[in-house]
Amino acid sequence: MAGQQDFRAPTAGERVFNRAFGFLVGLGLGFSHNRLLQVRGRKSGKLYSTPIDLLELNDKKFLVAPRGRTQWVRNAEAAGEISLKKGRNIQQFRLRPLSGSEKLTVLKAYLDRFRREVQTYFPVPADSPIDTFESIADNYPAFELISV
């Protein structure tokens, strides 16, 4: 899509923070919504990990990529499934890509709930009306997680 950026790369400081925070989440620390996403590389087969904010909405689990089509998104799309780890608990999920009004609802809920962590990646402020997300939705991959 014209004007759509692939992804917003993390700075060196953000990479260090993500590595350290991901380690802590992997040990079971962090907020209740924090998980360590694990996915196999689409070319290397290597297991990659990154900390994420898991959105739970209407008894469903959702994953949003606030940085856009990152490597984890591309790897997850290729693999078709991911693992979420918190301490010793590891859950496997298939991904169902979201579109349309469902995606708008999830993006709004994600930004409203995790504004402190992700507002910097969104050009619209938290608590914006849902129709505000229509013009930016294509820049943010979002998935429903289906238990395997």
pLDDT in tens, 19-36: 888 888 888 999 999 999
Instruction: Judge contact between 53 and 107, C-beta under 8 A.
Output: no
Mean predicted confidence (pLDDT) in 36-53: 96
Distances (CA, A) of 31 to 25, 36, 41, 86: 9, 12, 27, 10
H-assigned helices in the chain? 12-27, 71-79, 100-113, 115-118
pTM greater than 0.95? no
CA distances from 92 to 39, 74, 138, 146 (A): 10, 17, 26, 8
Q: What average pLDDT does the segment 102-130 reach?
A: 97
Instruction: Point out the least confidently predicted range of 13-17, 42-46, 51-55, 94-98.
Output: 13-17
pLDDT tens, residue by residue, 51-109: 999 999 999 999 999 999 999 999 999 999 999 999 999 999 999 999 999 999 999 99
Q: Which amino acid is at 107?
A: L
Cα separation, 41 vs 48, in Å, equals 7
Q: Identify the band that residue 2 occupies on the pLDDT scale cut at 50, 70 and 90.
A: very low
Mind listing the domains of the chain with CATH numbers?
12-147 (2.30.110.10)
